Structure 1
Amino acid sequence: MLFYPEVCGLAGRESGSSNRKIRQYRKPLNINLGIIIFSVIFVYVVICVFLYFTQKHIMGYEVKNGSLSIGNVYQGIALREETIVTSNDSGYINYYAREGERVGFGKLVCSIDESGQLKEMFDAGKADDTQLSDNNLADIKSEITGYMSGFEKKQFSGVYDFKYSLEGTALKLANINVLQDLQSLNGSGSSLISLCSAPVSGIVVYSTDGYETLTADQITQDMFDKEDYSKRQLINNELVASGDTLYKLATDENWSIVIQSDPERAQELLEEEYVQVRFLKNQCTSWAKVNVLNNEDGNTYVKLDFNNSMISFCTDRYIDIELVTKDEQGLKVPNSAIAEKEFFLVPKGYVTKGNSSENGVLKETYTENGEASTEFIATSIYFETEDDYYIDNSVLELGNNLVRPDSTDKYTISRSATLIGVYNINKGYADFKEIQILSQNDEYAIIKSNTAYGLSAFDRIVLDAETVTGNEFLE
């Protein structure tokens, strides 16, 4: 028999390996430093976010001197003595007096051309190179500038009124050149041209709006809505019938502007009796006498009476004005910082000073043996009247007996009152300070500075008084 040692040895090894255990290879632990750092930062951020939303947030505000911006800009309705002049004839109208010009009684304002001869003459003259004087050009430029300063995109319909007004101004200036031909037309025996003279002295206006006879007591809130307002422009060379409106005259220099107001503001203006008014159209100022109206619609209106400047606004029904009033000066604080707090009222004779010069009161107490004694209770003084001090109610209770120093007189705490103030945080805790409000709007109040128990400039106060309580320490 032949033996193959290599094969036998291999078989033996294979047989022995079948009795061995197979173990899983364990990878060595590799610590990633970046993951550890990221995890720590993530946990820190989560903790900070949690604390932010669970902790109370107290924001400070630095008190500074300032004045209060009160809304003193109003849109008013102008009321004037206005006389409407109507036509006695039919025909084409031609104007010769410029709008906004004062004309005397019997002065020529316009003409009515029944035959159309004057219109044909004017149309023929239009082909000529009519030159306007420097004064005429200055008037047109002034009219354009005034319109641009008061232009509102929401009232685009006013563009057409301005267009007709500007065209009318140019035509009226050009019509002056035709006046010299009126004598020749009338001299030739023609009676078809009627000359219209002013029935009274006044300022000429070439528009109507239906408010010519409006009085102050008839004004309602709806009239201040310009979307419902319409003005008819009277156009040169337009065909008119008998009875139609030719123009109107503002006959009195005394006129008024009526504005809307709340009762409190109206009463403030009435107490001033006279108020200075700035016209936003030309930035001129004038003094007006104040009257308050309580009309039938239940709203309050202020009527401002003027005795000048009417000619500058004779064509305007709605006028934007600013009331120039004296601004209150003082410390400016936000309304959110203002709070009310209740205090005990204690007669001044019962407040004394302790060993550390702190203000306080002597509270009556009793020992275990029932003997009467006193305990000094330190308390701050927050305000005073002629007879009483306002003291903190958190260290005392209603019904406590106070003993007058060096006396047997006693006072039982039974009275309280509230103060308006803010929380001062200069010392790291919320310390209530009484304030005296001089004026106030929707956002800020002007308070009196350097009062005995109040604030001074650059003090820091709590912005939102609802986030703190009295004497709370700030973290």
Structure 2
Amino acid sequence: MPNIQKNAVQPSGILKKIRKIFSMNIGTMLFGMLFIYMLFSAVLYLTSTNIESYQVISGPLSRNETYTGLAIREESVQKADTSGYITYYAREGSKINADGAVYGISSSQKTESSTELSSENLASIRNQMLSFSKGFNGSKFNTTYSFKYELEGNILQYAGVTGNSVSTSEDGTTSVVTYGNQTISKAANDGIVLYSKDGYEGKSVESLTASDFDQNAYHETDLKTQNSIKTGDSVYTLITDEKWSLVIPLTEKQASKLADRTVVRVKFQKDSMTQSGDFSIIEIDGSKYGRIDFNKGLIRYASDRFLEIELVTNTVTGLKVPLSSIVTKEFYVIPSKYATTNQDSQETGFIVQSRDKNGKDVDTFVHTTIYASKEDDGSGGQTEEESTSTLYYVDKKDFNEGDVIVSQKDQSHYTVSDVGVLEGVYCINQGYAVFRRIEILDQNEEYAIVSRNTDYGLSRYDHIVRNADKVNEEEILY
């Protein structure tokens, strides 16, 4: 039999494409669906209104202004009464009592003295060394030398340094005794010891000039030395009064803002401590300066001539919100005398009176949230008796204009019509916009400070809508 070849029917091009589509695996289909979803979400995001949230924080409206103050105090530079090698016995920046040993001078670098201390004194010295060791900070190694001076001074004090020759300096701030081969100089008055000078000693607030505030020209001289000194050389500075002053340069705007103040609260940037001082505005070389007088706290800043400070003038604190978040909402205003309490649920509300189809009066209790209560100013059209009451602000969605409310006390009637306005923001903690009432205490061009204790108000860390003009109340945002 002859071979008969049958030509296979070849599928058309369209059929091939259909078969190719249906031959795709499940992974390809899932990827395609995911791509379409992502594309749709991107288009939706780009075309929708961008709602920005803001987390409510607490604090003042703005930062307090900072200043650089020049410290003026009662101080004098003490001179050496003799020449020789010096040994320090007072800790720098510490307060020394009158008759306390400040330094000693001997003809040689090696001092010769013999002292026998009691067991109590030795125990006290050990405690001082232990305390210093526990609080030692390696980044402030120079405090070791100050502690050494203090310890040696205490040893002299325990030994009862006396001598058969005693003299007093001309200004009466230093007395001198001999001890071994040293001449010991002792403070004649209480004071704070500094081993430096800067040329401001002896200056008063009245003698200051504008050039005294130039920090670039300021120079401080360290008086501590291991070399021999001469009679009349400067040895240390003694501050003899706890009263001191800070003088700060002011612009005309700052001077005007502070003009009515007689007392200011000062925060020192060095250690964040605060204290109050008497304030006045003075003129130096034709410019305005603020003078702050203190009667304590000097020992903390005795080594500083210029101090960075903050005047605590922004005392209004509360919750801080952007002005762009603030909206207004209308409420129905109802006198408080018409409010009643449901006996079963103990909820506060009002009795709304209506008529049924038979013309009989029907009383319905309506529970509502009272957002605010304010004294009536008499401008709402109420009677004289009603105008003396408190007005309750209730949500308009709970009532209709023209509703008649009846008082359970005297059966008087009130027709709902008056409208009041409250300020608030939209809280979005739950994903949709909820009105929260605010009471503004202070504000500037960008932010407002609102009370923490407002009924149906905000709390710290609440999330609110920053651009409130783009949102409607109860709108679902996410």
- Maintained 8 Å contact 2:78/2:236: yes
Mapped partners of 2:443, 2:134: distance in 1 = 38
Mapped partners of 1:108, 1:429: distance in 2 = 73
Unaligned runs of at least 5 residues, structure 2? 168-177, 329-377, 383-398, 403-416
Once the two structures are TM-superposed, the CA of residue 125 in structure 1 deviates from its matched residue by 6.6
Q: Could you say what secondary structure the match of 1:43 adopts?
A: helix
| Residues 69-78 or 197-206, more deviating | 69-78
Within-5 A mapping of 1:154-233: 159=140, 161-174=142-155, 196=185, 198=187, 202-213=191-202, 218=209, 232=222
Report Cα offsets for 1:353-393 as digits up to 9, x if no partner. xx9639xxxxxxxxxxxxxxxxxxx998758xxxxxxxxxx
For 1:288, which of 274, 277, 289 is the aligned residue?
Answer: 277
Letter in 1 for 2:243: N
For 1:328, which of 307, 311, 316 is the aligned residue?
Answer: 316
Pair 1:51 & 2:44 matched: yes
- Maintained 8 Å contact 1:67/1:327: no
Mapped partners of 1:265, 1:461: distance in 2 = 35
Mapped partners of 2:124, 2:49: distance in 1 = 71
Once the two structures are TM-superposed, the CA of residue 70 in structure 1 deviates from its matched residue by 6.1
Once the two structures are TM-superposed, the CA of residue 256 in structure 1 deviates from its matched residue by 2.2
> How many percent of aligned residue pairs carry the same amino acid?
24
Once the two structures are TM-superposed, the CA of residue 57 in structure 1 deviates from its matched residue by 1.6
- Maintained 8 Å contact 1:432/1:470: no
Correspondence for 1:120: 110
Q: Could you say what secondary structure the match of 1:41 adopts?
A: helix
CA RMSD of aligned residues (A): 6.0
Within-5 A mapping of 1:320-399: 327-334=315-322, 337=325, 357=401
* Structure 1 residues 230 and 256: alpha-carbon distance in aligned structure 2, compared to 1, 3 A threshold: same
Correspondence for 1:446: 449
For 1:80, which of 73, 78, 92 is the aligned residue?
Answer: 73
Once the two structures are TM-superposed, the CA of residue 83 in structure 1 deviates from its matched residue by 0.3
Q: TM-score, normalised by structure 2?
A: 0.54
- Maintained 8 Å contact 2:325/2:426: no
Q: Could you say what secondary structure the match of 2:242 adopts?
A: coil
Letter in 1 for 2:229: V
Mapped partners of 2:192, 2:34: distance in 1 = 81
Mapped partners of 2:128, 2:42: distance in 1 = 68
Correspondence for 1:464: 466
Letter in 2 for 1:304: I
- Maintained 8 Å contact 1:61/1:462: yes
Q: Could you say what secondary structure the match of 1:84 adopts?
A: strand
Unaligned runs of at least 5 residues, structure 1? 1-8, 341-347, 359-377, 384-420
Report Cα offsets for 1:124-163 as digits up to 9, x if no partner. 879x999964555666677788885xx9xxxx6xx35434
Mapped partners of 1:142, 1:233: distance in 2 = 28
Within-5 A mapping of 1:105-144: 109-113=102-106, 115-116=107-108, 119-122=109-112, 133-136=122-125
Within-5 A mapping of 1:417-436: 424=426, 436=440
Mapped partners of 1:171, 1:191: distance in 2 = 14
- Maintained 8 Å contact 1:103/1:204: no
Letter in 2 for 1:46: L
Mapped partners of 2:212, 2:436: distance in 1 = 44
Letter in 2 for 1:92: Y
Mapped partners of 1:322, 1:142: distance in 2 = 33
Q: Could you say what secondary structure the match of 1:251 adopts?
A: strand
Correspondence for 2:332: none
Correspondence for 1:374: none
Mapped partners of 2:55, 2:179: distance in 1 = 85
Correspondence for 2:302: 314
Once the two structures are TM-superposed, the CA of residue 47 in structure 1 deviates from its matched residue by 0.9
Report Cα offsets for 1:237-290 as digits up to 9, x if no partner. 642134421111112221124568887777666645224557788898654212
Correspondence for 2:33: 40
Q: Could you say what secondary structure the match of 2:235 adopts?
A: strand
- Maintained 8 Å contact 1:95/1:111: yes
Once the two structures are TM-superposed, the CA of residue 43 in structure 1 deviates from its matched residue by 0.4
* Structure 1 residues 192 and 67: alpha-carbon distance in aligned structure 2, compared to 1, 3 A threshold: closer
Aligned residues: 370
| Residues 92-101 or 128-137, more deviating | 128-137
* Structure 1 residues 245 and 294: alpha-carbon distance in aligned structure 2, compared to 1, 3 A threshold: same
Mapped partners of 2:295, 2:129: distance in 1 = 27
Mapped partners of 1:63, 1:425: distance in 2 = 10
Mapped partners of 2:322, 2:132: distance in 1 = 44
Letter in 1 for 2:237: K
* Structure 1 residues 107 and 220: alpha-carbon distance in aligned structure 2, compared to 1, 3 A threshold: same
* Structure 1 residues 163 and 292: alpha-carbon distance in aligned structure 2, compared to 1, 3 A threshold: farther
Mapped partners of 2:436, 2:271: distance in 1 = 49
Mapped partners of 2:312, 2:56: distance in 1 = 26
Letter in 1 for 2:222: R
Once the two structures are TM-superposed, the CA of residue 307 in structure 1 deviates from its matched residue by 1.7
Q: TM-score, normalised by structure 1?
A: 0.54
Report Cα offsets for 1:291-319 as digits up to 9, x if no partner. 34676798x86543112343454345466
Correspondence for 2:230: 241
Letter in 2 for 1:240: I
Mapped partners of 2:269, 2:121: distance in 1 = 30
Q: Could you say what secondary structure the match of 2:278 adopts?
A: strand
